[in-house]
Amino acid sequence: MIRKAFVIQARPGLAAEYQRRHNPIWPELAAALKQHGVSNYSIFLRADTGEMFGYLEVADETVFQKLGENDACRRWWRYMTEVLVSERADSPKAKEEMLGEIFHLD
């Protein structure tokens, strides 16, 4: 299992809307995530700043990388750019900073 972590940022005042959009996520997106080997996926919010930390596990990096080709995933990314900070106004996906693992304890 490959552990992955990232940081994203809600636009000012939109963290609650981000959370609302995840409860629940679209069924077709949940299915796509599972089909691409994603499990144990959580997102945590730092309420005072709108910063979020995401953690997920993937079975196979090659299969996971194909998730971005999925229509439901691309539509979800675009939908979420309304509430998340992006690199540019026309970005197809919000700015996501991947984190490197430095410690793990089973």
What order do you get walking across the sheet with 38-46 strand by strand? 38-46, 51-58, 2-9, 97-99
User: What is the rounded distance in angstroms from the CA atom of residue 45 to the CA atom of residue 18?
Assistant: 10
Which of the residues are catalytic? 22
Contact 14, 79 (CB under 8 A): no
CA geometry: angle 68, 8, 15, nearest 5 deg = 115
- Give me the helix-helix angle, 27-35 and 71-80, nearest 10°: 120
